């Protein structure tokens, strides 16, 4: 009964938010702060309050202004990590260590323009205690580039593969046709003109004839990373 009550604990922060402190106990994924759309000072307060209880707090979609605000905060007893490419920030208590597992995830980005979303997925996977084997700029325009990294991923027994693509939305279908593990497609807003901003990439991934491919929303590297980590951790338990 005590554990059930613990899982329901909410921490209210200055009337602006109610943090689901023990969400990781319920869902396997902690509550993560979406910085986009929030005032930078709110993001700082939420991160600090979460880190006080959990030892670590994570924010996604952190722009430069928001990171400057976090950096200005006096964080005695905490360390600040900025994943600039992923647009993520982490506050952790000094000495805090992420609990590592044997879970492994493969990660592929079609083009260099897709890397920031791929990095969001990679950092998420690693913060959740998994290892990421990744390869970038291996899209279908040069299809031969995909084979060496796929071979490495399968040799290392990844539990699933996240494939990030904007102007090469067919890549997840191609990858799933070559591997025997689940593939998570992430359409990105890379691209322009008709069907640009990720729309054609999303539709292409959804209209796939490769069973075992699932798709998240446009630019949702974080969501893909969470799903991949959950799959990999369950697989590692076997």
- Mean pLDDT of the 13-28 span: 84
Q: Can you tell me the distance from the alpha carbon of 71 to that of 44, in angstroms, rounded to the nearest whole number?
A: 9
Q: What is the pLDDT of residues 69-81, one digit of tens each?
A: 888 877 788 899 9
Instruction: Using pLDDT thresholds of 50, 70 and 90, give the confidence band for residue 16.
Output: confident
Q: What is the pLDDT of residues 108-131, one digit of tens each?
A: 999 999 999 999 999 999 999 999
Q: Assign 161 a pLDDT band (cuts: 50, 70, 90).
A: very high
pLDDT for 2: 54
Higher per-residue pLDDT: 14 or 23: 23
| Residues 206-221 pLDDT 10s | 999 999 999 999 999 9
The whole-number pLDDT of residue 11 equals: 74
Residue 1 has pLDDT above 50, yes or no: no
Q: Give pLDDT, residue 7.
A: 59
Domain segments of the chain: what residues?
2-93, 104-236
What is the pLDDT confidence band of residue 3, given thresholds at 50, 70 and 90?
low
- Cα–Cα distances in angstroms (integers) from residue 20 to residues 27, 47, 109, 189, 218, in the given order: 11, 12, 32, 30, 26
Share of the chain above pLDDT 70, in %: 97
CATH 3.40.50.11030 applies to domain 104-236:
no
Q: Provide the b/e sequence for 162-172 (b: ≥16 CB within 10 Å).
A: bbbbbbbbebb
**Length of the chain in terms of residues written:** 238
Report d(CA 184, CA 186) in Å as an integer: 7
Average pLDDT, the chain: 92
**Statement: residue 9 has pLDDT above 50:** yes
For 24-46, write each residue's pLDDT tens digit: 888 999 999 999 999 999 999 99
Question: What's the confidence (pLDDT) of residue 166?
Answer: 96
Tell me the average pLDDT across 176-187: 98
């Amino acid at each position: 009964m005590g554990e059930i009550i613990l899982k329901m604990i909410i921490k209210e922060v200055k009337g602006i938010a109610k943090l689901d402190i023990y969400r990781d106990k319920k869902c396997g994924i902690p509550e993560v702060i979406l910085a986009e759309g929030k005032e930078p000072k709110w993001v700082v307060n939420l991160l600090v309050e979460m880190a006080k209880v959990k030892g670590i707090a994570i924010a996604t979609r952190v722009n430069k202004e928001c990171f400057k605000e976090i950096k200005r905060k006096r964080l005695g007893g905490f360390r600040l990590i900025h994943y600039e490419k992923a647009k993520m920030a982490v506050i952790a208590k000094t000495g805090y260590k992420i609990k590592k597992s044997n879970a492994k995830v493969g990660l592929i980005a079609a083009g260099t323009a897709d890397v920031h979303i791929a990095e969001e997925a990679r950092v998420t996977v690693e913060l959740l205690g998994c290892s990421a084997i990744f390869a970038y700029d291996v899209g279908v325009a040069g299809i031969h580039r995909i084979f060496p990294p796929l071979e490495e991923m399968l040799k290392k027994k990844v539990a699933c593969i996240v494939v990030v693509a904007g102007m090469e939305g067919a890549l997840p279908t191609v990858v799933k046709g070559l591997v025997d593990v689940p593939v998570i497609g992430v359409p990105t807003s890379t691209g322009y003109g008709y069907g640009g901003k990720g729309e054609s990439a999303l539709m292409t991934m959804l209209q796939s004839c490769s069973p075992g491919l699932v798709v998240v929303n446009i630019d949702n590297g974080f969501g893909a990373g969470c799903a991949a980590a959950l799959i990999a951790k369950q697989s590692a338990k076997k």
